[in-house]
């Protein structure tokens, strides 16, 4: 459905050059729900705008359903709908229903034929009682819901949602995540959802492409990504308070260690990237005559995986420069 190959984008303003996207490649297959996850400034929006033919890439190629959005814009863009971050392209003086009919119409989708689908969307997005309300009177969250509906009614096989929950309060964001999750499960469409918030991606998507500093640093099924981290994070309880110099030693010897000294015990949380590291930890404890009480693999969450990957990539970049 979508093929991005060696995409790069450099923004030049005066003497400043920003490499917003740096040699990004990925493929999205038909029917996939893919997350584009990355901290602010990672290059997510620039990547999406390139696919939509809004931002011209400095290098690389893009194929939407086999068509280049710059060489054959009408063919490529007839396959895509998008809600971009912060710009809700809906008409504030028109009602929810009028907006939906209008945006469907410009994509050649008739509201007479598709009335049931439109109604279904309005219901799914809990906008039934806002159907005849002018959009300008709606809350931020409802405006966002209408904007997403207006993208969906175009019935394109590919849909982009750029930061769909940004700027919403926690409750509304949570509600929208639920709706998008339901939608992802019921619509046989290809969706790309970008967010800086892993909870959003973890909720909605099966696969995640993690971006940082303009580059793709991971592209994997979320479950597989979590499985990797599941085997790496350990929680260790020791039945005595460790001496400061031993704690110092431990911190020097292992990269990612958290030590909590309690009244008569010590809790250690440690990230051990390879099996060898686990043996090294055992050796360390033995050398210092420390008895283990318990050792547990910790439940992973995407947030930890994400933070660890981004940190590693930043260290790699700092090392290079």
Give the tokens for residue 39: 């901290």
Of residues 23, 8, 39, the one with CA closest to residue 310: 39
Distances (CA, A) of 162 to 85, 97, 135: 5, 23, 20
Q: With CB under 6 A as the contact rule, which of the stretches 34-42, 72-80, 140-148, 269-277 interacts with ligand ADP?
A: 34-42
Identified binder of ligand ADP from the candidate list 7, 28, 37, 42, rule CB under 6 A: 42
- With CB under 5 to 8 Å by kind, the binding choice for 280 among ligand ADP, Mg ion, none is none
Residue 300 touching ligand ADP (CB under 6 A): no
Closest CB to Mg ion among 38 and 69? 38
State the minimum distance, in angstroms, from the CB of residue 23 to Mg ion. 19
In the chain, at which residue ranges do the beta strands (DSSP E only) sit? 2-13, 16-28, 33-37, 59-64, 80-83, 158-162, 190-195, 207-212, 215-221, 233-238, 256-261, 266-271, 292-297
Residue 35 makes contact with ligand ADP by CB under 6 A:
no
Minimum distance, C-beta of residue 194 to ligand ADP, in the bound complex (Å): 7
Q: How many residues bind ligand ADP (CB under 6 A)?
A: 12
Residues 6+ apart with CB under 8 A from 173: 141, 165, 200
Distances (CA, A) of 119 to 139, 182, 191: 20, 16, 21
Binding-site member from 20, 161, 210, 222 for ligand ADP (CB under 6 A) = 20
- Which listed residue (34, 35, 46, 95) binds ligand ADP by CB under 6 A? 46
Minimum distance between the CB of residue 280 and ligand ADP, rounded to whole angstroms? 37
| 40 sits near ligand ADP (criterion: CB under 6 A) | yes
Q: Does 212 bind ligand ADP (CB under 6 A)?
A: no
Q: Is 87 in the site for ligand ADP (CB under 6 A)?
A: no
Distance (Å, rounded) from C-alpha 139 to C-alpha 94? 15
Comparing every residue's Cβ against Mg ion, the nearest one is 45
Could you tell me if residue 219 is left (phi over 0), alpha (psi between -120 and 50 degrees) or otherwise beta?
A: beta
Nearest distance from residue 160's CB to ligand ADP, in Å? 12
* Length, in residues, of the chain: 321
Reading the block at residue 58, the tokens are 């400095």
Say whether residue 41 binds ligand ADP (CB under 6 A).
yes
DSSP 8-state class, residue 87 = B
Smaller CB distance to ligand ADP: residue 18 or 237?
18
Among 2, 34, 35, 45, binds ligand ADP (CB under 6 A): 45
Contact positions vs ligand ADP (CB under 6 A): 11, 13, 18, 20, 38, 40-46
């Amino acid at each position: 459905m979508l093929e991005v190959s060696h995409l790069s984008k450099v923004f030049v303003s005066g003497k400043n050059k920003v490499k917003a996207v740096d040699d990004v490649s990925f493929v999205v297959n038909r029917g996939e729900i893919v997350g584009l996850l990355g901290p602010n400034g990672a290059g997510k929006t620039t990547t999406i705008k390139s696919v939509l033919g809004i931002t011209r890439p400095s290098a690389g190629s893009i194929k939407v359903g086999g068509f280049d959005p710059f060489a054959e814009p009408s063919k490529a863009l007839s396959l895509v709908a998008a809600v971009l971050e912060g710009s809700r392209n809906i008409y504030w003086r028109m009602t929810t229903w009028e907006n939906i009919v209008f945006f469907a119409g410009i994509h050649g989708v008739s509201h007479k034929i598709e009335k049931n689908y439109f109604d279904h969307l309005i219901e799914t997005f809990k906008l039934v009682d806002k159907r005849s309300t002018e959009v300008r009177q709606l809350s931020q969250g409802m405006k966002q819901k209408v904007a997403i509906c207006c993208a969906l009614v175009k019935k394109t096989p590919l849909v982009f949602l750029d930061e769909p929950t940004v700027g919403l309060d926690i409750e509304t964001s949570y509600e929208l995540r639920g709706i998008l999750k339901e939608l992802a499960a019921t619509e046989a469409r290809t969706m790309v959802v970008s967010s800086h918030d892993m909870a959003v991606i973890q909720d909605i998507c099966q696969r995640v492409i993690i971006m940082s500093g303009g580059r793709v640093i991971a592209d994997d099924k979320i479950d597989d990504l979590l499985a990797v981290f599941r085997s790496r994070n350990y929680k260790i309880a020791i039945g005595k308070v460790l001496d400061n110099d031993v704690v110092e030693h431990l911190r020097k010897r292992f990269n990612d260690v958290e030590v909590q000294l309690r009244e008569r015990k010590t809790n250690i949380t440690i990230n051990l990237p390879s099996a060898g590291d686990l043996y090294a930890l055992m050796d360390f404890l033995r050398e210092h005559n420390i008895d283990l009480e318990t050792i547990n693999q910790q439940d992973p969450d995407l947030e930890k995986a994400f933070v660890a990957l981004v940190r590693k990539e930043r260290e790699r970049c700092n090392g290079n420069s």
